[in-house]
Amino acid sequence: MEDKYYSRVIKMMVFILDFYLISLAFTITKKLGIEDGVPDNQETSFFLIFSLIWVISGFLTEIYRINKLTSFRTMVWNLAGSMLVHFCLLMLLLYTTNLYQIQNLFLPVLYASSFALFVLSRMAYKTTWKYFEFSGFDQRKIVIVGATHSGRALYEFFESHDFARYNFKGYFDNNPDPLIIHKALIKGRIADLKAFCLKESIDEIYFALPPGNEELLADISKFADDNCIYLRITPDFGDVVSDKYNMFMLDSIPVLTPRREPLGMAVNVFLKRLFDIAFSLLVIMTVYPIIFPIIAIAIKLDSNGPVFFKQPRQGKKNKLFLCWKFRSMFVHGASERQATKNDPRITRVGAFLRKTNLDELPQFINVLLGDMSVVGPRPHISAQTDMYSEAIRKYKVRHFVTPGITGYAQVNGFRGETKEVSLMEKRVEYDVSYMENWSLALDVKIIFLTVWNMVKGEKSAY
């Protein structure tokens, strides 16, 4: 509860500071000589709208979900993602309402100065936390009852995160397993716990024994209360479930799941869908009018056949939908055979479209229809699903979420032809990892990497 309180206070402080930094960014932009960016009579309203959209994009990309464990790199990625979401929402507003007449250089300079100030503020945040950690402020002495898997996980957590706040003093267990906990870390039997706590002025006791030790737990709880020592309970389920399981609370009931499921929460699904709609509309309104006619004409001049290629693919919960693409092959009968390197079926224009991922552009229509997401596991044809689901155990786990135009596996190099089952296994591994670690910031990162790969080209794209 204490950490949650600190988290709320820090979140509010950063939230308020961001408003000031946006105001400062407006001032800096003017000082740089770009004074006619927004008419004077519209400046206040534009500032409020700009700030409000920043708050919306900030909560969508979780930039305010920070604590002392959040790495600076993660903070910067989240800020970049929030900037992209902010830009999409602002452009959508400006394009549809035409409320403001903004000078061309004003927005780029405003965004650059805002981003620089936000990064500096997060850097100051991390520096402040480091100062408190290494100064020993609020340092607490802790012991762990139970040389168990859960107890080892606690110890490794404290050690790996370099907690100067927590000073680990040792384990207490009657039958410690040297294969789990090194004997040098064992300070004694459970009977020795109370005397040690009083002698060393212990602040917190972590109880990490398996269920079934209620009498012992009650005794330690009374001792802790009598001596103003905080008791934390982390029951050990090492013999029942693996550390890959995830726990959440259903009211006051702990529930275990085989994996983290952020997209199993309705609010996250809503936020992801909102981002998909905003981003797709931005692409359709800005990119489609320029690129679509050029690609369509090129396809028609290069070979006979339709401009678009539609193919049934398996989506969320195995439901079939028609996936749209620009046609990149000559018209032929075999539409379910995977493309290979130097495939004679691919046209000259099609080779370029595949290399640059431009053949996927029509799928933003699929996104608006709700069949696809901007980011997610790539949808496969039914024949591939039937084949790989028998060979790869977690293959169909991908279908818990909406398929995407681009995905975590694709930006990590696993796209194109899959000659071996091991290559598909790696794709599935990345897809499941994406599902377990989803955030809007991760979606934005994948979009950035996809665009970068389009620019530099990919060997596996054909």
* 107 shares a domain with 33: yes
First to last CA, the chain: 53
Total tally of structural domains belonging to the chain: 3
Instruction: Say how far residue 204 (Cα) sits from the centre of its chain.
Output: 33
pTM across the whole model: 0.61
Residue 252 domain-assigned? Answer: no
Average pLDDT on 66-74 reads 68
* 381 shares a domain with 280: yes
* 399 shares a domain with 330: yes
* 272 shares a domain with 238: no
Residue 395 domain-assigned? Answer: yes
Q: Are 399 and 315 in contact (CB under 8 A)?
A: yes
**CA separation for the pair 251, 363 (Å, rounded):** 40
Greatest Cα-to-Cα distance within the chain, rounded to the nearest angstrom: 87
Residue 261 domain-assigned? Answer: no
**CA separation for the pair 135, 183 (Å, rounded):** 30
What integer pLDDT is reported at residue 63 of this predicted model? 78
* Three-state DSSP class for residue 273: helix
Out of 134, 156, 171, pick the residue that ends a domain: 134
pLDDT above 70: residue 157: yes
**CA separation for the pair 152, 441 (Å, rounded):** 31
pLDDT per residue as tens digits for the range 6-49: 456 666 777 788 888 998 988 888 777 665 667 777 778 888 88
Interstrand relation of 253-257 and 246-250 (parallel, antiparallel or unpaired): antiparallel
* 398 shares a domain with 278: yes
Query: What's the whole-number average pLDDT of the chain?
Result: 81
* 271 shares a domain with 177: no
Structural element, H or E, at residue 95: helix 72-97
Average pLDDT on 167-175 reads 89
Domain range spanning residue 336? 266-456
The domain that holds 201 is classified in CATH as: 3.40.50.720
